[in-house]
Each structure stands twice: as C-alpha cells, then as structure tokens.
Amino acid sequence: MNKLDTVLQLVSALRAIPDVARERRVVAYEVTKPKTVYVRADHCRVTVQRTLEPRVQIESDLRQAFGWEWLTEQDDAGIYVVLKRKPVVGALSTAALTLVVPVDAYLVFHLTPGSVRLEDFSGKLAVAPVQEGRAAVLPVPVDPAPER
C-alpha cells in the first residue's frame, strides 16, 4: 500500500466521523474603550456582527476539532484570535467564526485563505490593493447600526 492509498483511507475514515468531532466554543471579553480585534486564521469563514454592547464575543464552530489549534487572548491593545490547522489531521478540518463586536471596534484579518462576511453593514469600507501577497483593510469610521 502506498502513501496515497493510506491518505485516501484516512480521508475516508475522517469524513465518516459524525459530529462527535465537532466542537463549539464561545468566549466573551468585556471592553471599555474602542478595541482592535485581530483574527489570524487558516481556511476559515468569519462572520462579523456589530452590537452596541461593550463586549466582544467570539463563537467558533470547529469540524474535526482535533485538527485545530485555537487561542484567544486580550491585552491593552486588543483581542487576538488565532485559529490554525494542525499538520496532516487539520487538512480535513473546517471552521467558522462569528465575531460580535462593538460598533467602534477596529478589525484586522489575516486569513490564509478565508472569507469575511459583514452582517448588517452600514457605512464605508476601504480595502487596499493586494501587495506582495497581502491585502490591507483600512479602518473607516462607520455609523452604528441599530442593536438587534
């Protein structure tokens, strides 16, 4: 049996694992002033919701959770979210993050690759052109959306 056959069998076995390997986590941080939320994630879909409440809530939905390394942390500069796939076993893992952030929060994403969805967005958004394999998002003040 060659390595390709072994990998294909592993892929088949992992896909057969039911949602037992699914993990959902929720972490919340109270904030007192405008904060920056930094997200560094591999192969992840990020949804951003704005709120008038002074808190940042991070909800993760990890499929094949054993394939992820997950870390959240807060300091004076902001809140950090790192979601990284583990080598080999992380190849089949998928993740979705939902960020509930105050309307005055700055957002910084480093996704390799990934997608970002802004819900109920109102205002201006500036995205700089891709340079040397990286895109930059420029913060632009937005008007607060009504709370849900």
Is there a domain that residue 144 lies in?
no
Buried b (16+ CB within 10 A) or exposed e, 65-99: bebbebebeeeeebbbbebbbeeeebebbbbbbbb
Is there a domain that residue 79 lies in?
yes
Q: What is the per-residue DSSP string for 33-70?
A: S--EEEEEESSEEEEEEEESSSEEEEEEEEESGGGEEE
Q: How far is residue 47's CA from residue 50's CA, in Å, rounded to a whole number?
A: 10
Please report the pLDDT score of residue 146 as a whole number.
47
Please report the pLDDT score of residue 54 as a whole number.
93
Specify which residues 26 forms β-bridges with: 59
- For tokens 């190849």, the residue is 91
Q: How far is residue 131's CA from residue 52's CA, in Å, rounded to a whole number?
A: 34
Q: How far is residue 8's CA from residue 4's CA, in Å, rounded to a whole number?
A: 6
Q: Are 78 and 107 in contact (CB under 8 A)?
A: no
Residue range 22-33: mean pLDDT, rounded? 90
Is there a domain that residue 2 lies in?
no
Is there a domain that residue 36 lies in?
yes
Question: Into how many domains does the chain fold?
Answer: 1
Is there a domain that residue 6 lies in?
no
Domain that holds residue 48: 20-138
pLDDT at 16 over 80: no
Is there a domain that residue 66 lies in?
yes
Is there a domain that residue 107 lies in?
yes
Average pLDDT, the chain: 81
Is there a domain that residue 49 lies in?
yes
**Residue 138 — pLDDT band, cuts 50, 70, 90?**
low
